[in-house]
Chains A and B, each alone.
Chain A
Amino acid sequence: GEFEPWGHCSRLVLWLLQVARMTSALQLVDDFVSGCRILCLENKHQSAALRAAKDLPGMNKSVSRVDAAFEACTSSQFTVIMVTLLAAKAKYAPLEDWRWYAAQVQAMVTVADSSLVALVRDMYDFVIHEVARAYMEHDKPAMGIPLIDAAIRRIQPDLRRLTPIHADLCKLCLAAKNFKPALAFMDTDIEDLAVDENGKFDAESYLLYFYYGGIIYCATKSFQRAALFFQAAMACPTSVVSAIMNEAYNHLILVSLLVDGKAPRLPRYVTTAAQQPLPIYTRLAELYVQGSVADFLRHVESNRAAFEKHSTYGLVKQVRESLFRRDILRLTKAFVTVSLADVARRANLRDADTAERYLRDMMTRGEVFGTIDQQAGAVRFHDNPEHHNSTEVAEQMEKRISDSSRTLSLLSSLARVADVNPNYLRRKLDIATQNGSSGAFAPETYTDKDDVDFNMGF
């Protein structure tokens, strides 16, 4: 057709604009790095962090430049830049060479400055989550354990603060069947959450840490700690149901039977919505506490497939074993001397030899006190010979007092912070006004709808 100069010109201009945009997009990473380097060298790390948050979404087009840019920035001064580049790579590049990425994350964690990481915690957590996921996907969990361990310690030298990446370490340890690295963190009680720069903590990471941690403690037979962890998972304030909390509750039921011999009693602050255990577990607990041994065993056998599907059959078998021990323990309350054959009969054990073995094990563990007379084929029970007057007992008491003092001072400081928090005071006043009382907090009216905002600013 006719030559249309203006049409061609406008198309040319549009094409030039597109090329310019593409080139600038390709240059975004380089521009970001060169700009931030100046800021970092001038110690304006906060500004660098703000720029990082702004530029990150645009880096999807120039992510191929990240590797070269990263090489030039591996020093603690450029922590903000390193973390941003790694976050961009994880978000926008297909991680074909995940080992190379893991090596880069390792390099970053080794040199990073913890105070600077605090400015970009969100991205740091994302990077570590992604690298942990890569290790899991490629079936090399043991390989990732030292890196995640170092990553946690980099941002949190105080073991009493929980970070979102604790859950990743627990997951890797579970997959690798090597629990000691996780236990090094888990054996210290958590007193605080390491919230990110926006004052938030990811609920899923919280739940997974306590759920995986509970599973690890079950595996190492520390059932008291396991119960504590599962309860901590249940205590997460929520108004919706979480699958993780449901699983935690099912496990808590089994662990409570092992520790206390009865179903768990959840504290009042646990959301009712979260209390949805599966009927097979609640029925198991009922039969354990009140039913006959035969009914209990029948329930276990008939639901074996379901337990195996939930990976709880191992725990269920241990609950079954504890049933025999519980019945033997009941005998100590009724008899002073009883024949081994009688013990076997009353506790549903195979024979007198089995009964003897059970008794010997329980005596060694300090669950039962007595002596076995093989000649008479009987066992004689007596009271706990411990008079609690040894140095070991005194030291245990001292440790308990120290721990309690510490908890007491922690609670006092939390109470002091809460008492000047406007949200908390407003809620207290609202509840008091509803009750028509003089202002004292009335716990009887506390329901799910009154969930206190746990983001209290500390």
Chain B
Amino acid sequence: MVPLAATTIMDPMEVCLENKDWSGLARRGEETELSCAASDKLAPQNVYGALLAVYLLLRDLENAKFLWKRMPPSYKEATIMGQIWEIGQCLWRREFENAHEKLRQSWPAHVRPLMVALEASLHDEVLAVVGNCYSRISTEQLSGMLGMKDVAEACRELGWTVDGAFVQPKRVCPETVSLWKDNKTRLLSLTSHISTLEN
């Protein structure tokens, strides 16, 4: 199979990348892979790299794993691909310390925004996990999980008490966004439910 020229394929994906439309990027990547396969061609390596990275960002680890498995061996040997996959393995095993360490490097343009976003989302995820699961955690472990040497500032911002070598986290509540924008639709659907149940 012959790989297609990267420039012709990447444009719609680059638009998604610039707009930070991660699910759109994933969708475009999947469509590109399939349409190339339909003509018995290989999608460019950058497409696979971006798709793998966006799966990690969306925490769709199962699909990331199968993308890695079906990737041509020549693409797997590329250094960047291997590095992205190593981060995926750390996320799979929930080894936050190692994930941060591996994220810290310079990335090529087609994945850099994704890796920056991944690092930020990893930071938020660790704070959520620690806040929900621990009443007391060692500062050393927290700094390892956050990939930061000094966690005092981060703790102060969140209102977590630092007590010597330990931190007392608090539950991190996500913002709740009500999806009920339209009361009339809501009322209509409730009415139809009640009439079904009563008849």
Which residues from chain A sit less than 8 Å from chain B, CB to CB? 99, 140, 142-143, 145-147, 176-181, 219-221, 357, 359-361, 363-364, 370-376, 380, 390-392, 395, 398, 401-402, 405, 408-409
Contact of B137 among A219, A357, A374 (CB under 8 A): A374
In the complex, are the beta carbons of B136 and A374 less than 8 A apart? yes
Residue of A nearest to B69 (CB): A177
Residue of A nearest to B41 (CB): A143
Chain A: which residue is nearest B40 at the CB level?
Answer: A143
Inter-chain CA distance A180–B34, complex, in Å, is 11
Complex interface: chain B residues within 8 A of A176 (CB): 37, 70
Which of chain B's residues have a CB closer than 8 A to the CB of A405? 192-193, 196-197
Q: Number of B interface residues at 8 Å Cβ cutoff, please give it.
A: 32
Instruction: Contacts A145-B38, A398-B193 known; list 18 others, CB within 8 Å.
Output: A140-B40, A145-B37, A146-B38, A178-B66, A179-B66, A181-B34, A220-B62, A360-B94, A370-B133, A371-B134, A373-B135, A374-B134, A374-B137, A374-B138, A391-B176, A391-B178, A405-B197, A408-B196
Residue of B nearest to A178 (CB): B70
- Bound-complex Cα distance A181 to B40 (A): 17
Instruction: Report chain B residues within 8 Å CB of A361.
Output: 94
A372 partner, pick from B62, B134, B176, beta carbons under 8 A:
B134
Give A374 to B137 CA distance when docked, in angstroms: 5
Cβ-closest chain A residue relative to B195: A405
A-B contact pairs, 13 of them (CB 8 A): A99-B40, A140-B40, A142-B70, A179-B66, A219-B66, A220-B62, A357-B94, A361-B94, A363-B132, A373-B135, A374-B138, A375-B136, A398-B189
Are B66 and A177 in contact (CB-based, < 8 A)? yes
- Map CB proximity to A onto B11-53 as digits: 1 under 8 Å, 0 otherwise: 0000000000000000000100111011010000000000000
Enumerate chain A residues within 8 angstroms of B94, measured Cβ to Cβ.
357, 360-361
Q: Residue B172 at the A interface, CB < 8 A?
A: no
Q: Nearest Cβ in chain B — how far from A138, in angstroms?
A: 10
Q: Could you say which residues of chain B place their CB within 8 Å of the CB of A140?
A: 40
How far apart sit A142 and B30, CA to CA, in the bound complex (Å)?
Answer: 12
Q: How far is the CB of B5 from chain A (nearest CB, A)?
A: 20
B181 CB to nearest A CB, Å = 12
Inter-chain CA distance A176–B36, complex, in Å, is 14
Q: How far is the CA of A89 from the CA of B196 in the complex (A)?
A: 53
Distance to closest chain B CB from A320 (angstroms): 17
User: Which residue on chain B has the smallest CB distance to residue A363?
Assistant: B133
Task: Assess whether A142 is in contact with B34, with CB atoms less than 8 Å apart.
Answer: yes
Set A177, A178, A372: member contacting B34, Cβ < 8 A: A178
Interface of B is mostly: helix
> CB within 8 Å of A: which residues of B?
30, 33-35, 37-38, 40, 62-63, 66, 69-70, 94, 129, 132-138, 141, 166, 176, 178-180, 189, 192-193, 196-197
Cβ–Cβ contact A360 & B34, under 8 A: no
Q: Is the CB of A371 within 8 A of B133?
A: yes
State A91–B136 Cα separation when bound (angstroms): 71
B179 touches A395 (CB 8 A): yes
Report the bound CA distance from A374 to B140 in whole Å: 11
The answer to whether A401 touches B193, judged by C-beta atoms less than 8 angstroms apart, is yes
Report if A147-B38 is in contact (Cβ < 8 Å); known contacts: A180-B30, A220-B62.
yes
A373 contacts B136, C-beta separation under 8 Å: yes
Interface hub of A357, A375, A390 (most chain B Cβ within 10 A): A375
Residue of A nearest to B66 (CB): A177
Contact at A177–B179, with CB atoms within 8 Å? no
From residue B131, how far is it (CB to closest CB) to chain A in Å?
Answer: 10
Partner of B133, one of A146, A181, A360, A392: A360
A391 lies within 8 A of B180 (CB):
yes
Q: A364 to B196, alpha carbons, bound, how many Å?
A: 38
Within the assembled complex, what's the spacing in Å between the Cα atoms of A390 and B94?
29
B166 contacts which chain A residues (CB < 8 A)? 374-375
Nearest 7 CB-CB pairings of A with B: A142-B37, A371-B135, A177-B70, A146-B38, A363-B133, A405-B196, A373-B136
Determine which of B34, B141, B179, B180 lies in contact with A146 in the assembled complex, contact meaning CB atoms within 8 Å. Answer: B34
**A180 & B63 in contact (Cβ 8 Å cutoff):** yes
Chain B contacts of A372 at CB under 8 A?
133-137
Cβ-closest chain A residue relative to B194: A401
Find chain B residues with CB under 8 A from A390 CB: 176
Which residue of chain A is the closest to B178 with respect to CB atoms? A391
Q: How far is the CB of A380 from chain B (nearest CB, A)?
A: 7
Report yes or no: B132 in contact with A364, Cβ–Cβ below 8 A: yes
Q: How far, in Å, is B9 (CB) from chain A's closest CB?
A: 16
Taking CB atoms, residues of chain A closer than 8 Å to B178 are 391
Q: Which residue of B lies closest to A392 (CB)?
A: B176
B138: which A residues are within 8 A, CB to CB?
Answer: 374-375
**B136 and A376: CB pair below 8 A?**
yes
- Provided the pairs A380-B135, A395-B179 are in contact, do residues A360 and B129 lie with their beta carbons within 8 angstroms? yes
Question: Measured between alpha carbons, how far is A361 from B129 in the docked complex, in Å?
Answer: 9
> Which B residues lie within 8 Å of A357 (CB)?
94
